[in-house]
Chain A
């Protein structure tokens, strides 16, 4: 008996061609060609990467809705943590943390700005800006100011009632001379969520960059800009010395043109490299902890005094240690809500008159204002007094 085995003919030339062009994309080839774990990691951009804090607007310790923002005072934290609002000649706005988000992107919150008084004229000095200040420590890995400086990519989701060109800009405060760079982006469709992404050049050793707890750079996103800020000519996406007229060239949008105008933004990410990657989602507690390096608002209800420090040689007040959940960026400024609330303390029913005595790395010594010598300790039994601890940039 004989067995006959047959197999299809092989075209050797075709097979060799397949080897030359394996069925993987360009990025896959880069990964396969990487010669070290470091190189592969760098290509994938795995791990924590978002330099922006609260880019998904989850945290709003100061409140979820506030009215009457008109530039006086200016550059204020309105609702969502870490984000400031700057404006001049741009009407009046209500700021809120909102639930309108791009569908299917995993976001639950956005920052909404609602125009309540319009300013349709675009006078020369007018502007409307969203700002986040970034601590220099947080961007040390970008190696700015050195020969190994890395580029960055900014991405965000935006929904605007007005179409036109906005402007994204960085103010490099950490350089020995303030440097700026900017690019325009276009809102194509009114009242639709749109994803914007743009890469910015690295800044080499032409200027030195200081890494410390101060401001490394400010992200400014312009939605109105008068001629003072737009009149400059020249190449965009190019680091240059700060000049007013070079800050927002190309900005045509006027978000303040009508009281019908709303603006939403979320998913703001700034990452190393030329490639945009998926948003770096964090849990609520992770995001809160990052925000609390700069601002903390907490109840004093239930907090006990450590006793009365007598008037002769003491501080003539009950004292209290308020623990903080983390170390802050710098020694903080302290304010109190309802600092003089009546009936704050039990036993005794004494009124409060809160002040600070001294600061530790993760606690604050407080004078309560109660001078009761009847009780060795007292507890805050009123929910109104709160301590606000500010170490913002």
Chain B
């Protein structure tokens, strides 16, 4: 059984669960060739699992949207504490504490079937 691994900015990888192997999507790699063969013989649904789709928790979401400390201090200095508070509150409201984050399994990317279809 395999799992597709997706990481921002990098090509997809294939994780082989039986031995924890990280397989690149490279046509000369014999493990990748075997992966395509396995999918071809057993079908996608029986062979490969889609990538994890991670929804970050509220802390991560808020952190990624908060302005930098310098910008926040600048805002307080040039406008007011109230304006700063309202800006921060908008972010907090956007990402409530009820959002504790989740991980779901996404669908298998289309390139898997496309590559299998190219097999002789």
* B residues 12-52 touching A (CB-CB < 8 Å): 13, 15, 19-24, 26, 28-32
Q: Write the chain B residue with the least CB distance to A133.
A: B30
Say yes or no: A312-B28 contact (C-beta < 8 A), given A333-B23, A336-B20, A355-B22.
no
State the interface size on chain A (CB cutoff 8 A): 26
Would A333 and B21 count as touching, CB distance under 8 A? yes
Say yes or no: A312-B29 contact (C-beta < 8 A), given A331-B24, A335-B19, A357-B7.
no
Which of B7, B56, B63 interacts with A315 by CB under 8 Å?
A: B7
Would B28 and A332 count as touching, CB distance under 8 A? no
Size category of the B interface is: 20 to 34
- For the residues of B in contact with A, the DSSP-based class is mixed
Say yes or no: A332-B24 contact (C-beta < 8 A), given A311-B56, A312-B60, A391-B29.
yes
Q: In the assembly, what is the distance between CA of A336 and CA of B28, in Å?
A: 21
Would B61 and A312 count as touching, CB distance under 8 A? yes
* A residues 207-245 touching B (CB-CB < 8 Å): 212-214
Q: Name the residue among B7, B8, B13, B22 with the largest chain A CB count within 10 angstroms.
A: B22
Tell yes or no: B120 within 8 A of A by CB: no
Q: In the assembly, what is the distance between CA of A212 and CA of B22, in Å?
A: 24
Which chain A residues lie closer than 8 Å to B110 at the CB level?
A: none
Which chain B residues lie closer than 8 Å to A393 at the CB level?
A: 30
Which chain B residues lie closer than 8 Å to A302 at the CB level?
A: none
Which of A213, A315, A339, A358 interacts with B20 by CB under 8 Å?
A: A339
B46-84 vs A, Cβ < 8 Å mask (1 yes, 0 no):
000000000010001101100000000000000000000
Q: In the assembly, what is the distance between CA of A376 and CA of B11, in Å?
A: 27
Tell yes or no: B10 within 8 A of A by CB: yes
What is the CB-to-nearest-CB distance from B91 to chain A, in angstroms, rounded to a whole number? 12
Say yes or no: A331-B26 contact (C-beta < 8 A), given A311-B56, A312-B56.
yes
A322-348 vs B, Cβ < 8 Å mask (1 yes, 0 no):
000000011111111001000000000
Q: Write the chain A residue with the least CB distance to B27.
A: A330
Would B7 and A330 count as touching, CB distance under 8 A? no
Which chain B residues lie closer than 8 Å to A358 at the CB level?
A: 7, 10-11
Would B22 and A356 count as touching, CB distance under 8 A? yes
Would B28 and A330 count as touching, CB distance under 8 A? yes
Q: Write the chain A residue with the least CB distance to B62.
A: A312
Q: In the assembly, what is the distance between CA of A313 and CA of B56, in Å?
A: 10
Would A331 and B22 count as touching, CB distance under 8 A? no
Which chain A residues lie closer than 8 Å to B63 at the CB level?
A: 310, 312
Q: In the assembly, what is the distance between CA of A21 and CA of B7, in Å?
A: 76
What is the CB-to-nearest-CB distance from A297 to chain B, in angstroms, rounded to a whole number? 14
Tell yes or no: A149 within 8 A of B by CB: no
Which chain B residues lie closer than 8 Å to A311 at the CB level?
A: 56, 60
* B residues 83-107 touching A (CB-CB < 8 Å): none
Q: In the assembly, what is the distance between CA of A392 and CA of B26, in Å?
A: 13
Q: Write the chain A residue with the least CB distance to B10.
A: A358
Q: In the assembly, what is the distance between CA of A280 and CA of B43, in Å?
A: 48
Say yes or no: A359-B24 contact (C-beta < 8 A), given A311-B56, A333-B31.
yes
Q: In the assembly, what is the distance between CA of A311 and CA of B64, in Å?
A: 9
Besides A311-B56, A355-B15, 6 new A-B residue pairs in contact (Cβ under 8 A), listed by A number:
A212-B28, A312-B63, A315-B7, A333-B31, A356-B13, A393-B30
Listed by A's residue number, 15 A-B pairs whose Cβ atoms lie within 8 Å are A312-B56, A313-B8, A313-B64, A315-B7, A315-B8, A330-B29, A333-B24, A333-B29, A334-B21, A335-B19, A335-B21, A336-B20, A355-B22, A358-B7, A392-B30
Chain A interfacial positions (CB closer than 8 Å to B): 212-214, 310-313, 315, 329-336, 339, 355-359, 390-393
Chain B interfacial positions (CB closer than 8 Å to A): 5, 7-8, 10-11, 13, 15, 19-24, 26, 28-32, 56, 60-61, 63-64
